[in-house]
Amino acid sequence: MTDHTARLDHVVLWVRDPLAAAGFYEKAVGMEPLRLTEFAAGEVPFPSVRVNDETILDLMPLTFAARMTMLPGAADSAGHPVNHVCLSLPRADFDALLSRLQERSVPVSDVSYDSFGARGKATRSFYFRDPDGNVFEARHYD
């Protein structure tokens, strides 16, 4: 049987240096990089990092903005990061992410409590930026 539940497949982030961005997401955020070798060899246009089994972040070179012709005005989105992307993690992974970011001197916000999200009120959450200015929120519900 096919599952017809809507899911988030991917988010495309504009980045200046896709390899450096992939390194940040791998080392600081703990995500698995995808297609790095193929990107470095010029075989694919961008690398990605895996959020979970069903969701990835595509690390799109900012230089590709002019190629965004699928909709009028799409190229104008380059350099305009979304407000933020929220990662929901188990408690231990939340704590590990916060530690990795702090170890790498990545600025993080204060930890908030009981902020509303897709599954109700999160126990804790905080915000951080990647090297390209994209804002992320990390939270846990347990």
Counting residues of the chain whose pLDDT is more than 70, the rounded percentage is 85
- The pair of structure tokens assigned to 9 is 């497949």
Mean pLDDT computed over 97-103: 96
Q: Is the dihedral of CA 41, 43, 46, 50 positive or negative?
A: negative
Confidence band, pLDDT 50/70/90 cuts, at residue 66: confident
CA dist 43 and 20 (Å) reads 18
pLDDT of residue 8: 80
For residues 119 and 79, the model is more confident at: 119
Residue 75 confidence (pLDDT) above 90:
no
Which of 10-14, 70-74, 94-98, 104-108 is predicted least confidently? 70-74
User: Which of 26-30, 59-63, 113-117, 136-140 tops mean pLDDT?
Assistant: 26-30
β-pairing, 10-15 vs 55-61, is parallel
Confidence band, pLDDT 50/70/90 cuts, at residue 117: confident
How do residues 12-56 score in pLDDT, each as one tens digit?
888 999 999 999 999 999 999 999 999 999 999 999 999 999 899
Q: What is the mean pLDDT of the chain?
A: 87
CA atoms within 13 A on the CB side of 76: 3
pLDDT of residue 4: 63
pLDDT of residue 5: 67
DSSP per residue, 56-112: EEEEEEGGGGGG--SSTTGGGGTT---S-EEEE--HHHHHHHHHHHHHTT--B-PPE
